Amino acid sequence: MDASSDSQRHPSGEDAAVGVQLQQMSACLDGELSDAEFSDVLQCLDRQSGGSMRQSWTAYHLIGESLRGEIAGHRGLAPADFLAGVRGRLAEDAPVEVVPPSLPLPDVSQPLVRGRAANDAVFRWKMVAGLASVAAVMAVTWGVLGTGPSGVSGPVMAQRGGEVSPVVAVSATPAQESTTTVAVETPQGTIIRDARLQQLLADHRQNGMSALQMPAGFLRNATHDNARGR
Amino acid sequence: MRTNDTTAAPSSDSDALLVQRTLAGEMRAYELLVLKYQRRVERLIGRMVRDVDLVQDIAQETFIRAYRALGQFRGDAQFYTWLYRIAVNTAKKQLMELKRDPLVFQSALKSAEEDETSSSERELTHGATDGETPEAILASKEIAEAVNAAMEALPEELRMAITLREIEGMSYEEIAQALDCPIGTVRSRIFRAREAISARIKPMLDRQGGKRW
């Protein structure tokens, strides 16, 4: 075969195109093909000339193996028959989900799909515990800020600034919705207190020094300025 | 013509491209990988299994398993190194499952263990085997002779180009520098050399179609 007459072997346009793609396939074997050219090669494999292209691909590799002394004692099917066998077996399998490359060499006996994790139940219990904690906090908060014992409602009172002013005047507070709150006139202004708290404070003032006379962070005063106090 | 134990010209770039295209859904790219490595895988398994039918079955199963696991192939190793491990594991698994012939099974398994530790590197780099049938030896000899004859008939520039590529493992750029010609010319010369040699060996491949060598 005269290699220099190679150009005469593909006289028609289609043959010329096949020749170009065979040259691209030759370059692909050497890793010297661009991505775009490789797409052309793959498309050509589906055409009528695809069989001869696959045969050329096999022959090109065989040439290299022969030159390197690698083909001693080959045993096996013809390439086309072998490929047909692989195609058939792949066609029998269910569609395969391709896994992105991320792992070391695979143990092909293991399934690709992740099974149930051992700590799945622990995670569920953690979720339940978290929700229970949130519910408990909400319940305590509601109990502190909302309805108290005996159905008494009203703002939580606290002492402001540590100053326990003597009660200047005690009067019912019409602005409050509960009859158990009192409005107390102090130098700081009108203070609305729970009646029980007011009684408690009064009792302790009578008894002398008391921790309640000291600043207590949990005691809060709610004040308002009414028209009389301004 | 030189037929020494020179390490095969690296084709990792083309393998990487074929793997990438397969993962993108191009089954034709995977078929090219199958055609490329069919013989090497068959030779490898043939050292572990004597039954020719079983060799083919395991070889095909190897490529099936490789396809399924292709997404887990890391590009830091050569594709054939990865495929080699799959082939060995598949052969061992099949032998354990079948156990058709206790004598064959025991000798094959033992053969696999010995060969894997002592000559695995030789198989990976040179693909050399032992224990071939006379027919297989004759067939490979015929092909080698045909290739050598075709090489001798090539014009000097084509023979030089394909020798530097296939035996020396040089890239197109390196060959272009060595031969003082454009890279496009190198590509063309290598292709024309391959086509000329293929014209001699393709009839031999056609005659062997459907037959065992």
Domain boundaries along the sequence of chain B = 7-131, 132-208
Residue B201, token pair as written in the block: 């060996």
Do the beta carbons of residue B182 and residue B157 sit within 8 Å?
no
Q: Distance between CA atoms of A114 and B119, rounded to whole angstroms?
A: 36
- Neighboring chain A residues of B55 at a CB cutoff of 8 Å: 75-76
Residue B187, token pair as written in the block: 């590509």
**pLDDT tens sequence across A29-46:** 999 988 888 888 888 887
* CB of B3 less than 8 A from some CB of A: yes
Query: Hey, what CATH topology would domain B7-131 get?
Result: Rna Polymerase Sigma Factor; Chain: A (1.10.1740)
* CB of A92 less than 8 A from some CB of B: no
**pLDDT tens sequence across A47-76:** 766 788 899 999 999 999 999 888 765 557
Mutate to test the interface with B, among A86, A97, A102 (most CBs of B within 10 A): A86
Closest residue to A67, CB basis, from B31, B60, B166: B166
- Neighboring chain B residues of A4 at a CB cutoff of 8 Å: 155
Residue B58, token pair as written in the block: 């395991």
Model-level pTM? 0.58
Dihedrals phi, psi of A91, to nearest 5 degrees: -65, -30
With CB atoms and an 8 Å threshold, state whether A29 touches B192: no
Give Cβ neighbours of residue B128 (< 8 Å, ≥ 6 apart). Answer: A69, A70, A72, B5, B122
**pLDDT tens sequence across B147-173:** 999 999 999 999 999 999 999 899 999
With CB atoms and an 8 Å threshold, state whether B133 touches A75: yes
CB atoms within 10 A of CB B202: 17
* CB of B166 less than 8 A from some CB of A: yes
- Neighboring chain A residues of B35 at a CB cutoff of 8 Å: 54, 57-58, 61, 79, 83
Q: How many CB pairs under 8 A join A and B?
A: 264
- Neighboring chain A residues of B122 at a CB cutoff of 8 Å: none
With CB atoms and an 8 Å threshold, state whether B195 touches A80: no
* CB of A52 less than 8 A from some CB of B: no
ipTM over 0.85: no
Residue of A nearest to B207 (CA): A78
Residue A170 has pLDDT above 50, yes or no: no
Q: Class of the B132-208 domain?
A: mainly alpha
* Bridge-based pairing state of the strands A189-194 and A222-224: antiparallel
CA dihedral in degrees (B117, B118, B119, B120; nearest 10)? 20
pLDDT number for residue B50: 81
Place of tokens 């293991």: A110
**pLDDT tens sequence across A75-117:** 578 888 899 999 999 888 756 555 555 445 555 555 555 556 6
**pLDDT tens sequence across A176-222:** 445 566 776 776 667 766 777 777 777 766 555 555 455 455 555 55
B-contacting residues in A 137-196 (Cβ below 8 Å): none
Dihedrals phi, psi of A212, to nearest 5 degrees: -70, -15
pLDDT number for residue B213: 36
3-state secondary structure of A119: coil
Chain B nearest C-alpha distance from A122 (Å): 30
Mean pLDDT over each residue of chain A, to the nearest integer: 68
Helix, strand, coil: what percent of chain B each, to 5? Answer: 75, 0, 25
Q: Give me the mean pLDDT over the A123-138 stretch.
A: 83
**pLDDT tens sequence across B71-105:** 988 777 789 999 999 999 999 998 888 776 666 55
Residue of B nearest to A81 (CA): B210
In 3D space, the residue among A57, A59, A30 whose CA is nearest the CA of residue B169 turns out to be A30
